[in-house]
Structure 1
Amino acid sequence: MKVMYFLVAVLALAFSVASAYDPSPLQDFCVTVNGTKDGVFVNGKFCKDPKLVKAEDFFRHVEPGNTSNPNGAQVTQVFVDQLPALNTLGISLARVDFAPKGLNPPHTHPRGTEILIVTEGTLYVGFVTSNQDGNRLFTKVLNKGDVFVFPIGLIHFQRNVGYGNAVAIAALSSQNPGTITIANVLFKANPPISSEVLTKAFQVDKKVIDYLQKQSWYGNN
C-alpha cells in the first residue's frame, strides 16, 4: 500500500510539473492566423491550414532597439504574437539593446526560464531566489560570448557596465513567457494598488509611495 501511495505521489508531481509548461505539439507546426475562416483553434490560437503555410511564416527580421529612453535599454520581443510559427513550439526569443549604463530593470517571466548570451559589450546580470531559498542574490559580469541562465519566475536584471553599447540575445522556454516589470506592477497598476497596502508592505511613509506612484516607470518592452 505504501508503494502505491508513493507511485501516486510521483505521478501527481510529474503531472503538475509537466502541466506547468507549454503543451507539447501534436503536429509539426501550428502557425497562428487571425480569424476562423481558414483556421483550427489550438492552444489559444487559430492555426493556419498547413497547406497554406509559407517560409515567411517562420521568419522575422529584428532591428536594433531604440535605447533613447529613461532606462537606456530596449527589449525587442519575438514571442508568438510577433512570430506566429512559434505557436505550440514552447520557445521564444528577445533581443536586448543597451546604451552605456543602460538597464533592463528587475522583472520576471512567469511562464519561462531565460538563457541569455552576450553578443556585444559587458553586462552585470543577476537574479534573486525565492523566500524559500533565503532571497539569495546571484550575480555575474558577462562579456561577449558568455551565457547566463535565469530560472523561471525569479526576479532578474541586466545592466551595461561597459563604456560602449551592449547587445544580448535571450531564449525563453515558452512561446509566451510574459514579462512582469516589478516597479511598473507595484507603482503603475491600473487601478493603483492602495497606498495603505504599499506603505505597510515597504514600511515607509505614504509620501514616499505617492512620489513613487507619480514617476514615469518605463518597462523596456
Structure 2
Amino acid sequence: MSKEFNVPPVVFPSGGNPGAGAQQRRLPTAPFQPPRSANPGIPFMSFDISSAAASTSLSAPQFGGNNIGIGTGFEDEPPLLEELGINTKQIWSKSVSILNPFRVKADLYEDADLSGPFLFLMAFGLFQLLAGKLHFGIILGWVTVSALFLYVVFNMLAGRNGNLDLYRCVSLIGYCMLPMVILSAMALFVPQGGVPIFVVAGVFVIWSTRVCARLLVELASCGDEHRGLIAYACFLIYTLFSMLVIF
C-alpha cells in the first residue's frame, strides 16, 4: 500500500508562470549598438557606406584669380643649361668675336660670366694632358693669380675712377685664353724644342694680348690713356701660359 506525501505548492516571487517569463526575456542586442532608451534623432555610430562616402568626399580646391598650372609636362620646363645660368649662344658669340682680333665686339662682354672661361681652361688642360702634362691645378692657380695681378695694376693706373671688378677681370682673361687653347692643340703636331714652336707661340701670345687689352680699355673707364701698360701686363700673363705649352 503506497503512502502519499503532501507536497506544498511552490510559489515564485515574481509571480506568474516561469515558462511564460522565459519567453518574455529580453533578447541580447547586437554589439556596438546604442541602448533603446537613447535619443533616436542623434546617430551614434552609423555604418551606412553610401552616406559615409558622400560625407567624406573631397572636392578639388578652387583657386581664384590666376589659373595655376599644376602637373605640367616636361615640354614647359626650361632647358637645364638655362636653369644653371649657362647661355650657350652668348658663349658662342664671344668665342667667334675673339677669333677675329681686329674686330672684337666689346658690347658682347658687358655681361660677364665664368661658363666660357671655365670651358676654355678645361680644354687647355685637356690638350696639355694629351701631351703628357698634368697642369689642371697649375692652370686654375695661375688664372686666379693673373686676375688679381691685372685687377691691381689696372685700378692703380686708373686711380679712384677705375671701375674694373675682379669678376669681370677673371671673365676677360678666361675668354682671351682661346688662342692659348688653339696653341696647345697645335703643339701636339709641332716638334718640341725647335724654332717653329717659339714663333707660333709668339703669334698666339700677341693675339691674346691684343684682344684682352682692347676689351679692358673699352669696357673699363680711364684705361685708354694707359693702354700700353695694360697691354704689357696682359703680355706677361699669356707669355706665362705659353711656357706651359713650350716646356
* Shorter-chain TM-score tier: under 0.3
Higher helix share: 2
Which of these two proteins has the greater Rg computed from alpha carbons? 2
Q: TM-score, normalised by structure 1?
A: 0.24
Answer 1 or 2: higher relative contact order, Cα 8 Å, separation at least 6. Answer: 1
Higher strand share: 1
